[in-house]
Amino acid sequence: MKNEEKKKQTVVLFAPMERTKADAKNVARTAFDKTIIMAEEKLDVTVEYNTYTAKDYQEKSYDDVALERIQNDMDDFYLLNPDVLQKMGEKGKLADLSGLDCVKNLREVVKTANTVNGMLVGIPQEVVVYGLFVNKDMFDKYKIDLPNTPEEFLECCKIFKENGIETPIGANRWWLETFVFAQAYADLYNGDNTATEIEELNSGKRKYSDYMRKGFEYLKKLIDLGYIDAKTAYTYEAIDGEGADFLAQKTPIVMAYWGAANAETAYGNPDFNMQVIGFPSDRGQMPVMSMTGVSALANSEHLEDTLNVLEVILSDEALQVYSETNKVISPSKNVEVDCIPALKPLNDLVNEGTYVLASNAGMKVEQWGNTCLIVRELLNGASVDECMAKFDKLQEE
């Protein structure tokens, strides 16, 4: 028995783990686990699972640790946020996945967002769409319509504030950037010159700061008006921090990814009528799309086995199971599932092709991670100009 087990190939995965309500059933993890089990059964391999979660903001973040582990060739494959993916892709630490059979099923936008230097370095299991999670009951209570534009949104917050809700927007240190992306790239991704504009950004003809300024200024306004508590937001982990107040109906608005509406560990079972809508922009509600991709270590000792595992967990069959379990948008054009009613407004927008990308490996300046860090500086008291200077610096580098 032992000999058999020794013979069995082991592939090591490094992935994040939500630690809130440790005993609860985690839908996202269960969906991912289902696909891993498919791979283990089909390939007769064992997938070992390594994880890290920071206890607080002072500790190294998952992304930090993931970077270090990739650089030290610690694991065989990873679940990576777009910034890490882009950084490691550029360093050539991640394997090119374009040879996998499953690639032909992927939506073009997915391939575009994960291609670095012509190499497909990550494939997501779901297209992560961020939106505003609103307590519709509270909106109704104060007779407020759901906002479309930045002005409308400010008006909403004002009414809530006037009605004694001290901080209408619950925020954490990770996801406030979605406000910025919605305003910054609404025209770029929904206009006619997307490719040209990105090319000009990459060549330096255009400045990221020009796009970002609007978003940062708006965010600054929200902070200054007290609609966002910058202090707490700077220290809060995603959902872990702001989630409790939202579920307790103390906060009418939070931002989160699509899957949080389905996960018991997040906002899967609220006591109120919850709706998920797009972020305010001049073009109306705007979903923000990001992707947490699965990447393989290029130097892995078990690269072949790892690629085989990826082939299985990213196949249409596995993505169907994943999407059905999590009720999310699949990266495969062949997989479609129904969404829950709360997600319908967001889903409709995505289906119409209205969204902005929060990560794009095609852009030379990594977006998701950098913007996140600069937003944190804003939270920490930096001015919008200082923040823009950071973007300019990054672009110059």
Partner 1 sequence: MEKRNEVLRTRILIVPFIVVFCILGTVVFFISKKISREMSESAINNLSESLDLISNTIEVILKKEVEFQKLLSQEIAGLEKPEDFVLSYDRNDTMVKISLILSGETTGISNTGEVFAEKDLDFSWGKTVEDLPLSKSYVNSMGTWAYTIKCPVIRNKEEIATLYIEYIYDSFEEALPSQFYNKEAKLYLMDVDSERLVLKPKGIGERDAGHISLEDFYNANKILEGSVQENVAKNIKDGKDVMFYHDIQNEDSLIYMWSVNKGTEYMIGYVPVRAIQREGNAVNQNIMIVVIVMMVTFSACCAFYLFFEKQNDKIRKDRESERELYNKQLKEALQAAQIANNSKTTFLANMSHDIRTPMNAILGFATLLARDVSNPEQVREYTKKITASGQHLLGLINDVLDISKIESGKVVLTIGEFALKDMISSIDAIIRPAAKTKNQNFDITVTGIKHENLIGDETRLNQILINLLSNAVKYTQEGGDIWLRIIGLKQRSSQYEHIRIEVEDNGYGMTPEYLETIFDAFTRAENSTTNKVQGTGLGMAITKNIVELMGGTIEVTSEVNIGSRFVVELEFRIPDVKVDGQFWKQRGISRILVVDDEEDNRESVRLLMEDMGICVDLACDGEEALRLRKSAYEAGEDYHVILLDWKMPGMNGVETARLLSKVAPEHILTLLLTAYDWDGIQEEAVQAGIDGFLPKPFFVSAFKEKILELLEEQEMEKDSEADAEEGCMEGRHFLVVEDNEINSEILSEILRIEGASCEVAENGQLAVEHFSQAQPGSFDAILMDVQMPVMNGYEASRAIRALDREDAGQIPIIAMTANAFAEDVKDAIDAGMNAHIAKPIDTELLKRTIKQYLE
From the CB of 63, what's the least distance to partner 1, in Å? 10
- Binding flag, residue 148, partner 1 (CB under 8 A): no
- 124-133 burial, b for 16+ CB within 10 Å, e for fewer? bbbbbbbbbb
Question: How far separated are the first and last CA of the chain, in Å rounded?
Answer: 55
The structure tokens listed for 183 are: 């305003």
Choose, by CB under 8 A, the member of 9, 43, 52, 373 that binds partner 1: 52
Q: How far is the CB of 23 from partner 1 (least distance, A)?
A: 5
**Piece of 20-28, 205-213, 274-282, 358-366 that binds partner 1 (CB under 8 A):** 20-28
Element holding 9 (H helix, E strand): strand 9-15
- Residues 51, 194, 299, 395: which binds partner 1 (CB under 8 A)? 51
Site for partner 1 in 65-84 (CB under 8 A): 65-69, 71-72, 74
Rule CB under 8 A: say whether 264 interacts with partner 1: no
- Between β-strands 123-135 and 274-277, what pairing exists: parallel, antiparallel or unpaired? antiparallel
205: left (phi over 0), alpha (psi -120 to 50) or beta: alpha
Determine if 103 is a binding residue for partner 1 (CB under 8 A). no
From the list 17-25, 295-303, 311-319, 327-335, the region that binds partner 1 by CB under 8 A is 17-25
Nearest Cα to Cα of residue 17 among 330, 370, 263: 263
CB 303 within 8 A of CB 296: yes
Q: Based on the shown chain and the rule CB under 8 A, indicate whether residue 296 belongs to the binding site for partner 1.
A: no
Site for partner 1 contains 36 (CB under 8 A): yes
Closest distance between partner 1 and the C-beta of residue 35, in Å?
Answer: 11
Instruction: Give the residue with the Cβ less far from partner 1, 43 or 365.
Output: 43
Kindly state the number of chain residues that form the binding site for partner 1, as judged by CB under 8 A. 33
Q: Which stretch binds partner 1 (CB under 8 A): 53-61, 159-167, 224-232, 378-386?
A: 53-61
Instruction: Return the ∠ at Cα 242 (arms to 237 and 245), rounded to 5°.
Output: 155
Query: Whose Cβ is closer to partner 1: residue 12's or residue 387's?
Result: 12
- Choice between 40 and 392, CB closer to partner 1: 40
Interface with partner 1 includes 260 (CB under 8 A)?
no
Region label for 300, one of left (φ > 0), alpha (ψ between -120 and 50) or beta (otherwise): beta
Choose between 21 and 333: whose C-beta lies nearer to partner 1. Answer: 21
Q: How far is residue 390's CA from residue 313's CA, in Å, rounded to a whole number?
A: 38
* Residue number, 47 or 342, with CB nearest to partner 1: 47
Cβ nearer to partner 1, comparing 6 with 143: 6
Q: What is the DSSP string of 161-205?
A: HHTT-S-SEE--TTTTHHHHHHHHHHHHHHSS-HHHHHHHHHHTS
Query: CA triplet 72, 73, 77: central angle to 5 degrees?
Result: 135
Which of 9, 50, 112, 395 binds partner 1 (CB under 8 A)? It is 50
Q: Can you tell me which of 9, 53, 148, 190 binds partner 1, judged by CB under 8 A?
A: 53
281 vs 250: CA distance, rounded Å:
25
Residue 38, interface with partner 1 (CB under 8 A)?
A: no
Asked if 200 touches partner 1 (CB under 8 A), the answer is no
Surface-to-core class of residue 109, CB atoms within 10 Å of its CB (0-12 exposed, 13-18 middle, 19+ buried): middle
Residue with tokens 């809700």: 165
Q: Cα–Cα distance between 191 and 185 in angstroms, integer?
A: 9
For position 59 contacting partner 1 by CB under 8 A, the verdict is: yes
What residues line the site for partner 1 (CB under 8 A)?
Answer: 2, 12, 17-19, 21-23, 26, 29-30, 33, 36-37, 47-53, 55, 59-60, 64-69, 71-72, 74
